[in-house]
Amino acid sequence: MNTEHGLDLGGIMLSQAVLTSWGILLLLWLLSFMLMHALRRPDNAWRTAAETLYTMMENAVRDVVPTHYQQVTPLIGTLWIYLVIANLTGLIPGLDSPTADLSITSGLALIVFGSVHWFGIRYCGWRNYLKHYLSPSPILLPFHLISEITRTLALAIRLFGNIMSLEMAALLVLLVAGFLVPVPLLMLHIIEALVQAYIFGVLALLYIGTALESHTRSNPTADDGASRRNPSS
């Protein structure tokens, strides 16, 4: 049953933010399906655009995670693409950006939280990875744990607060000044949406890079090995 704020499925309430987020995921799936076929044809404009975009994201990830950028790029790139679309959805009449909902940004922050530990344990080994929580002294363990929680909360709240305040400001100016005056504000909305998507992805990348530091310390030849496997890097 449709409601003013979402969809009620037999007692399970799906908010508008969740429905919008699912719509964005469906859109991304369709675009990926189309690109998959486009990439099979040489000298295709879509192929060139996709390769250029991926190369730009891969270079940005490699600057922070030089040894495992090939494994990390799909996650960070997906976050960037999703967040750009999600943040700009508020410009469509009748829709709100799903990232203006704390539940959505909290889910994204939890994905980053899980990914940080997954990459850390996978490439460092659980012993080496957990050891950094006891460095330089086991007394600091509670502070490391608190830091993990607070930075995850900050990641969710920062994105939620920025997008929500931006949409509220645009709505207020629209109500007061009409449709023509807010045009510069809408341009600011676009710029801010892109910036917030980039910042979220960069913070996630920095957290993953920090988790992988123990792998670099325990394997000092990792960079050399990666360079030999990837001469272009």
Sketch the domain layout of the chain as residue ranges. 19-226
Which pLDDT belongs to residue 24? 94
CA separation for the pair 131, 119 (Å, rounded): 15
Which residue did the predictor score with more confidence, 143 or 175?
143
Which pLDDT belongs to residue 38? 73
CA 195 to chain centre: 12
pLDDT at 231 over 80: no
Tens of pLDDT, residue by residue over 97-142, are: 999 999 999 999 999 999 999 998 888 888 888 887 887 788 888 8
Question: What percent of the chain has pLDDT above 70?
Answer: 81
Which has the minimum average pLDDT: 17-31, 150-164, 175-189, 196-210?
175-189
Which pLDDT belongs to residue 50? 84
CA separation for the pair 30, 40 (Å, rounded): 16
Which pLDDT belongs to residue 126? 83
Q: Nearest to residue 61, comparing CAs of 198, 153, 155?
A: 198
Concatenating the DSSP letter of every residue in the chain gives -EETTEEEETTEEEEHHHHHHHHHHHHHHHHHHHHHHHTTSSS-HHHHHHHHHHHHHHHHHHHH-SSSHHHHHHHHHHHHHHHHHHHHGGGSTT---GGGSHHHHHHHHHHHHHHHHHHHHHHH-HHHHHHGGG-S-GGGHHHHHHHHHHHHHHHHHHHHHHHHHHHHHHHHHHHHH-SSTTHHHHHHHHHHHHHHHHHHHHHHHHHHHHHTHHHHHH-TTHHHHHHHH-TT-
pLDDT at 17 over 70: yes
- Note whether 204 and 154 are within 8 A (CB): no
Q: What burial letters (b/e) apply to 84-112, b meaning 16+ CB within 10 Å?
A: bbbbbbbeeeeebbbbbbbebbbebbeeb
Question: What percent of the chain has pLDDT above 90?
Answer: 40
Half-sphere exposure of 158 (CA within 13 A, CB side): 18
Which residue did the predictor score with more confidence, 5 or 121?
121
Which has the minimum average pLDDT: 18-22, 51-55, 86-90, 168-172?
168-172
Q: Nearest to residue 77, comparing CAs of 37, 15, 35?
A: 35
Which pLDDT belongs to residue 215? 53
CA separation for the pair 62, 73 (Å, rounded): 8
| pLDDT band for position 47 (cuts 50, 70, 90) | confident
| pLDDT band for position 222 (cuts 50, 70, 90) | very low
- Note whether 66 and 215 are within 8 A (CB): no
pLDDT at 181 over 90: no
